[in-house]
Chain A
């Protein structure tokens, strides 16, 4: 157990509304990641962070923003949710402080945009 929690675990929202997903870790890991997982597409990286206020884009970053004001929290925001953002979102951390190292995943958030 890498001490990763995600909230909320499930959310239903309407198109055009803002949504923020939270990832919380308890062990001061440097690297944190947000992925989305969709049938036929696998896990795709949205954004990642390598420290407080240090973030970078992933493969599918359009329509998403992130913030990391504390080591333990990494927030993913959909400024104006669209139906194409209906997905399962996973947060992950790199255990040893290296981007090359093993990633461990949180339990996921299932987001439905109507």
Chain B
């Protein structure tokens, strides 16, 4: 059974701070990694995908992947109250559907 683990939170950060969200996965063969954001009562929406070790930046968001440690993270710089949401990590290995973590709830305090 492939597992994707996330701290459920809530993670509380002050406005303007960096929020760090973490995800670990069990399958060493995993190849594709995704971060989704989900506002309460809404569907998940893609923030970023990452496929190679290292960092990938998109605006205020940076995804970091370390396949040796089976670890993927999402950094949100200059956090805003509008970033308050649940963040889902998803991982894919080979020819199988994505496996989602249970999500981390982020609260950005103004």
Residues of chain A touching chain B, judged by Cβ–Cβ distance below 8 Å, are 33, 35, 40-45, 48, 58, 90, 99-108
| A107 surroundings in chain B (CB, below 8 A) | 42-43
- Asked if A100 and B44 sit within 8 Å, CB to CB, the answer is no
Q: A101-B32, A105-B43, A107-B43 are in contact. Are A42 and B95 (CB under 8 A)?
A: no
Residues of chain B touching chain A, judged by Cβ–Cβ distance below 8 Å, are 31-32, 34, 42-46, 49, 88, 90, 92, 94-98, 100-103
| A48 surroundings in chain B (CB, below 8 A) | 97
CA distance A102 to B97 in the complex (A): 10
- New contact pairs (14) apart from A103-B46, A105-B43, CB-CB < 8 Å: A42-B101, A43-B88, A90-B44, A99-B95, A100-B31, A100-B92, A100-B95, A101-B32, A102-B46, A103-B90, A104-B46, A105-B44, A106-B43, A108-B43
CB nearest neighbor in B for A105:
B43
- Asked if B103 and A99 sit within 8 Å, CB to CB, the answer is no
- Asked if A100 and B102 sit within 8 Å, CB to CB, the answer is no
Within the complex, the shortest CB–CB distance from A41 to chain B, in Å, comes to: 7
CA distance A8 to B36 in the complex (A): 24
CA distance A41 to B99 in the complex (A): 12
- Asked if B102 and A102 sit within 8 Å, CB to CB, the answer is no
| B102 surroundings in chain A (CB, below 8 A) | 40-42
Q: A43-B88, A90-B44 are in contact. Are A100 and B100 (CB under 8 A)?
A: no
CB nearest neighbor in B for A91:
B43
- Asked if A99 and B97 sit within 8 Å, CB to CB, the answer is yes
- Asked if B45 and A102 sit within 8 Å, CB to CB, the answer is no
| B43 surroundings in chain A (CB, below 8 A) | 90, 105-108
- Asked if A42 and B46 sit within 8 Å, CB to CB, the answer is no
CA distance A48 to B101 in the complex (A): 18
- Asked if B45 and A103 sit within 8 Å, CB to CB, the answer is no
| A101 surroundings in chain B (CB, below 8 A) | 32
Within the complex, the shortest CB–CB distance from A35 to chain B, in Å, comes to: 8
Q: A33-B97, A42-B100 are in contact. Are A102 and B31 (CB under 8 A)?
A: no
